[in-house]
Chain A
Amino acid sequence: MEIERKYTPEELKEYKKRSISNEIWRNYKKSPSAMIGLFIVIAIVIIAIIAQVTFSYDKDIVQQDVRNRLQKPSAKHWFGTDQYGRDVLIRVLYGAKYSLSVGIISVAISCLFGSTLGLIAGYYGGTIENIILRVCEIFVGIPSVLLGIAIMSAFGQSLLVLMFAIGLVYVPMFARTARAAVLPVRDQEYIEAAVVSGMSDLKIIFTHVLPNSMAPIIVQITMGVATGILTASHLSFLGLGVPVPAPEWGAMLSGGREFIRDYSYLTFFPGLAIMITVLSFNLMGDGLRDALDPKLKQ
């Protein structure tokens, strides 16, 4: 008996080339706003790296020059100088590294712990799921900024503690996302088949459950970087983030508040930098969501 072939071998090869990541990229490219987001993010990363190599922290970023204090934006100082005579443009450019690193590392922390918990909760269900969800509920009940402040004051102010604090604050968010993503996968027949064939739980989770519930987690990661950057600048603004004189955007904004009446550019530029960064990560997240699940696109 001859098997009826739907595709020729060549066609199948061609089909194989269209891997999932290629497919996602093809969909992602279609959205102009998502591409704008991606370009700005890449630009900010490049700026952060260049600023880190070109400027010296001691000489350009924190050294005070009182003779040049509070100069309004000019050809020499595009964004003006602050109350200690430091160039605001250089400080804003250099500050990109703080926001990026806090955003990315804190999301890595919350994604690692949160997704693991969510996967376990969703896959095993029952008592374990109940315990994990209840613990998440405790942390969701506390407003995130207040929890962040409490953690910062307990462990002291530093960049490292800030990353850890924000990472911890958003663990429940990832746990819930991952659990919700696993639930529809758990009841699929291929999982049942894997269980019957004697595969270990760990292997099933990594080879079948995780790849099939990845999409919402990836979107959450991009959006999480945006939220993380916002929360970090929030804490720094309240004086509980990266300690001064580091040019963290939230802290710069807070420092410029005193001079808001006559030197409003001191608060304007750092805030603009925060908004552009957060906006571009949000645009990327939106684009990824549509690219990963074209059905959802409206």
Chain B
Amino acid sequence: MIRYILKRILLMIPVFLAVSFVVYFLMDLAPGDIITMMAPQDATEVEIEMMRKELGMDGTLIQRYIRYIGGLLKGDLGMSLSMKRPVIDIFFERFPATLKLAFGSILVAMLISVPLGIAAAIHHRSWLDGFSMVTAMLGLSIPNFWLGLLLIIAFSLKLGLFPSGGSTGFISVVLPAITLGAGQAGNLTRITRSSMLEVIRQDYLRTARAKGVSENKVIYKHALKNALIPIITIFGSTLGNALGGVVAIETVFAWPGVGRLTVSAINTRDITLATGCIIMFTIFLTLTLLLVDIAYAYVDPRIKARYMN
């Protein structure tokens, strides 16, 4: 198991390097240059060249990238060009807000989808099943930034129950978390339902019923435990989707997270900040997927046995 985890972590390194190359290259292609944007109006060529050197932006693309990658391999994401501070500091200042939002949305998604999916499966082909499937489909199809705006109109402008933006304590996370969680809930409901439906048909449930176990116990003890396994695997990709979705949600709710930071870094052509943020996103995502795989092995002894061999 340990060897497997180490192997997975080592395999991530080339992926991160490749991500850094793709993003750095794309950012370099973009028209406009942060140095000329930042330089004072009357700056001479020589002064601009000096600024470039000072910020490590002189030389060809390849030279700059090699310098960047040299720092990256030592764990240094470089300095933000626009804020003149280490990228890593800026990122971690704003990361907790994004994490709060992402986990809040997953909590919302789980609270809606697990009960709904189980109820739909138990009452297969009933009106409840139909209702939950329609809800799930709507959740999957609604543009989340639009849902966010609708929630703002209803609950903050009309009813005044929640703030319309900013991060001010628990109450401010409610609307953004619901917005982001709705789409995830759609997906999770469908997965919970189909996984539960599959389990319900298994022989061991028939055995349990035959030996006189009560119906409630059959569902909640025997069926649910097994049905939850695929739901855990989805956790990783759900968190991934949540992190991808934060970009628009943070814009809608003026949320001080890394999604908005990354977009503004891309727009201002702050190459180091943009590349650094995207690399951090990728690292976080891949590590989550790894953790989920490990958790998966512990939950399901069948999978653990496969790793052992």
Contacts and interface: CB of A to CB of B under 8 A. Distances in A.
Interface of A: 134-135, 137-139, 141-146, 149-151, 153-156, 226, 230, 233-234, 237-238, 250, 253, 257, 260-261, 264, 267-268, 271, 274-275, 278-279, 282-283, 286, 298
Interface string B64-76: 0000000000000
Interface of B: 14-15, 18-19, 22-23, 26-27, 29-31, 124, 137-138, 140-143, 145-146, 149-150, 152-153, 157, 194, 197, 240, 243-245, 247-248, 251, 262-263, 266-267, 269, 274, 278, 281-282, 285-286
A138 to B, nearest CB: 4
Of the listed residues A153, A155, A274, the one surrounded by the most CB atoms of chain B closer than 10 A to its CB is: A153
Contacts of A267: 146, 149-150, 153
Contact of A238 (B140, B247, B281): B247
B150 A279 contact: no
B167 to A, nearest CB: 19
7 contacts: A141-B285, A145-B245, A146-B244, A146-B278, A153-B26, A234-B248, A278-B141
10 closest cross-chain pairs (CB), A and B: A271-B146, A143-B244, A279-B141, A154-B29, A141-B282, A154-B26, A278-B141, A138-B18, A150-B26, A153-B30
Contact of B138 (A151, A153, A271, A279): A279
Contacts of B262: 146
Contact of B29 (A155, A257, A260): A155
A105 to B, nearest CB: 20
B87 to A, nearest CB: 15
Interface of B is mostly: helix
Nearest to B29: A154
Given A271-B149, A275-B146, A145 B247 contact: yes
A141 B197 contact: no
A17 B179 CA distance: 49
B278 A138 contact: no
B244 to A, nearest CB: 3
Of the listed residues A144, A156, A298, the one surrounded by the most CB atoms of chain B closer than 10 A to its CB is: A298
B197 A298 contact: yes
Given A149-B266, A150-B27, A234-B248, A138 B149 contact: no
Nearest to B183: A230
A279 B149 contact: no
A150 B263 contact: no
Nearest to B190: A286
A149 B238 CA distance: 21
A257 B164 CA distance: 12
A268 B240 CA distance: 28
B143 A150 contact: no
Contact of B30 (A135, A146, A154, A264): A154
Contact of B248 (A134, A226, A238): A238
B146 A274 contact: yes
A282 B139 CA distance: 11
A95 to B, nearest CB: 14
Nearest to B244: A143
Contact of A142 (B30, B149, B281): B281
B137 A283 contact: yes
Contacts of A154: 26-27, 29-30
B25 to A, nearest CB: 8
Contacts of A268: 150
Given A138-B19, A150-B26, 16 more contacts: A142-B23, A143-B247, A150-B278, A154-B27, A154-B29, A230-B143, A234-B248, A237-B143, A250-B143, A253-B143, A253-B145, A257-B149, A260-B153, A268-B150, A271-B150, A275-B141
Contact of A150 (B141, B240, B274): B274
Nearest to B17: A138
A144 B26 contact: no
A180 to B, nearest CB: 15
A142 B278 contact: yes
A216 to B, nearest CB: 16
Nearest to A237: B145
B281 A260 contact: no
A136 to B, nearest CB: 10
Nearest to B241: A143
B77 to A, nearest CB: 16
Nearest to A283: B137
A141 B244 CA distance: 10
